[in-house]
Homo-oligomer: A and B are copies of this chain.
Amino acid sequence: MQERAKATRRSLLEAAAQLFAEQGYAATSVNDISARSGRTSGAVYFHYTSKEGIAVAVVEDRFATWPQLAARYGDETVTPLERLVALSYDIAHALTQDPMARAGARLWTERTVIKAPVPDPFALWTAATTRLLAEARAAGHVYEGVRPARAARALVPAFFGLCILTEALEGATALDDRLTDWWHLTLPSLRPQPSPGNPALHCPTGPWRGFPPSAFSTGRR
């Protein structure tokens, strides 16, 4: 694609994402996207065919794919369980601060009014969570009774619901605290259980101990 066409597509995509994130799919028209981007309505139709087309392109650009998280996911200098926690904070931050991710999430929740299939990231997240839990269990960081695939299928919907509902109920600024609270209510259940030979090592004296790792601390406890 020519550089100029690429720049046009990007500016249309970003204007559409801002509008979808602010006011939703139904309330946003192709004319609105044209006015916000400073391009013509014809440019929207030329590059994306329809309002549905540009909505799906917004979802695919970030929300359904999370291209920027691949490095974090594969960072072998950090333990698998810490990578899982770090990924959750990355996603929570994007869902509250990045217009492209916010728009994608909002369009997915509004998918019933969009006349096109809206892709989602949940199969990807569930597979990544399953693999990180399996690696963590193999490394002895997660209790051997945890079944990674089953746990992932419960954790991913709970996490996404936490993000979306917390923003709706308390506003985006509350999400960091709420996510930390949720991990405090989840991580102790994942951890290895005490063994008779070494109760001090495996049996924490309180569920809050050692969490969050300093990198994610909100400094509130």
Q: Which residues of A contact B (CB under 8 A)?
A: 24, 26-27, 106, 109-110, 112-113, 122, 143, 145-146, 150-151, 153-166, 169-170, 174, 178-179, 181-182, 184-190, 193-194, 199, 203-208
Contacts and interface: CB of A to CB of B under 8 A. Distances in A.
Contact of A161 (B110, B157, B186, B190): B157
10 contacts: A24-B112, A24-B113, A122-B165, A155-B185, A156-B165, A159-B161, A160-B165, A161-B163, A184-B189, A194-B194
Given A160-B165, A164-B161, A185 B190 contact: yes
A169 B122 contact: yes
A112 to B, nearest CB: 4
A199 B185 CA distance: 21
> What number of copies of this chain does the assembly contain?
2
Closest 10 CB pairs of A and B: A161-B161, A157-B165, A158-B158, A188-B189, A154-B181, A154-B182, A24-B112, A158-B162, A157-B162, A26-B113
A157 B169 contact: yes
A167 to B, nearest CB: 9
Given A156-B165, A158-B159, 4 more contacts: A143-B206, A153-B170, A154-B185, A199-B199
A14 B208 CA distance: 47
A156 B151 CA distance: 18
A193 B205 contact: yes
A203 to B, nearest CB: 5
Given A112-B26, A159-B161, A193 B182 contact: no
